[in-house]
Amino acid sequence: MHFNFNSTEPIYLQVASQIEEAIFTKNYAEKEQIPSTTEISRDFHINPATVLKGINLLVSSDLVEKKRGIGMFVAQGAYEKLVKKRRELFYQDKIVQVVDEAKRLQISEEELLNLIKRGY
């Protein structure tokens, strides 16, 4: 697992989003065990309560499930759920930004569409 933390965003959110990213990129497959709170805490020098708070976000959005006494696992259907969520956020998070920047750069709608085609 590769974690990359910045020092300004709340750490529990970063823990959640990094695990989410690993599920999305299929580094953690469905039904596969993810590292324990203790492991993440030790390896990345984060207070275990903070790690737990982050993981609980994933549990409550049904991406991760806890199995008592065994550990935590990627929930079945987690990948599909993430794709759906990210598609919904795609317009808001990416497209709006791209259009804003394009306007600042005086790139016309047609030019932008061409650029997108080129990048595809």
Partner 1 sequence: MGIEVKNIQKKFNKKKILSDVSLELEPGKIYGLLGRNGAGKSTLLSIIANRIFSDSGDVVLDGESVFERDEALGQIYLMSERNLYPEGAKIEKIFKLTELFYGSFDYEYANELADKFGLDVKQKFGKLSTGYRSIFKLIIALTVPARYVFLDEPILGLDANHRELFYRELLDNYVKTQKTFVISTHLIEEITNILEHVFILCHGEVVIDGNVEDIMKKAYLIAGPQKDVADYCRGLNIIGKESLGSIHGNYIYGDLDDNRILPDTVSVERMDLQKLFVNLTNMEEAKK
Question: What is the binding site for partner 1 (CB under 8 A)?
Answer: 5, 7-12, 37-38, 41-50
3-state SS of the chain is: CCCCCCCCCCHHHHHHHHHHHHHHCCCCCCCCEECCHHHHHHHHCCCHHHHHHHHHHHHHCCCEEEECCCEEEECCCHHHHHHHHHHHHHHHHHHHHHHHHHHHCCCCHHHHHHHHHHHC
Shortest CB 47 distance to partner 1, Å: 5
Q: Smallest Cα–Cα separation from 62: which of 52, 72, 70?
A: 72
Closest to partner 1 by CB, 45 or 68 = 45
Closest to partner 1 by CB, 49 or 113 = 49
Distance (Å, whole) CA 34 – CA 63: 11
Closest to partner 1 by CB, 10 or 77 = 10
Shortest CB 27 distance to partner 1, Å: 22
Shortest CB 48 distance to partner 1, Å: 6
Shortest CB 88 distance to partner 1, Å: 25
Closest to partner 1 by CB, 5 or 90 = 5
